[in-house]
Amino acid sequence: MLWWQKHGEHQSHTEWRGLSEKATVQGLGNVTHIWPLKEMYCAPDYAHIVVSTLQETHVFRFDNASSISSIDGDKNTGFITDLPTIAVSNILRRTRNAENKSDYVDSRFVIQVVSKGLLLLEYDPGVRQYSRASELWTLEKFADPGKEGLWKGREIVAANINASQVVLALNWGRVVVLTLNVDDKRFIKLR
């Protein structure tokens, strides 16, 4: 794995300096996506890497400047690792201010999207691992009452996560926009 930092921008191109190998992972083939994660959304440095292959997901932690270790952990309490990850990202925590308007504050929460649903995880700095903050949110949970059957058998085929929202593309041509109620640890369908 290579990490780099942007040194400066010029009129027609960006110059990259400091390209150096920080760690190597042997025997990991068919990689489709790689995402860096921080211990907290506003942390200055990345501390973990999520790697998705055609069949599964791997999670790695930077132990020091030249060492990386797997933290795949317990499949029932951490990341979903037996499926490819479609998207994963740190998110901010939404709160309400005195005027009842939204404010966004730093958080240890991460959202993982797989074909079957979404997972909210929280980083625990004491054990340096992520644990599930909620159960897997399947697509049926977003159905209007009485219409759960319309969502059965559907899968997420693409996703994007920003600081406070998740956009899902489903295999039947529908796009779903979600926000997270962190206090209740549940996703809310906006569209």
Range of weakest confidence among 16-30, 55-69, 97-111, 160-174: 16-30
Distance CA 80, CA 83 (A): 7
**% of the chain at pLDDT higher than 70:** 82
Element of type H or E holding 106: none
- Measure CA of the first residue to CA of the last residue in the chain; give whole Å: 38
Helix, strand, or coil here: 149?
Answer: helix
Q: pTM for the whole thing?
A: 0.82
Asked whether 50 and 57 are in contact (CB, 8 A), the reply is yes
Strand 31-37 relative to strand 117-124, pairing: unpaired
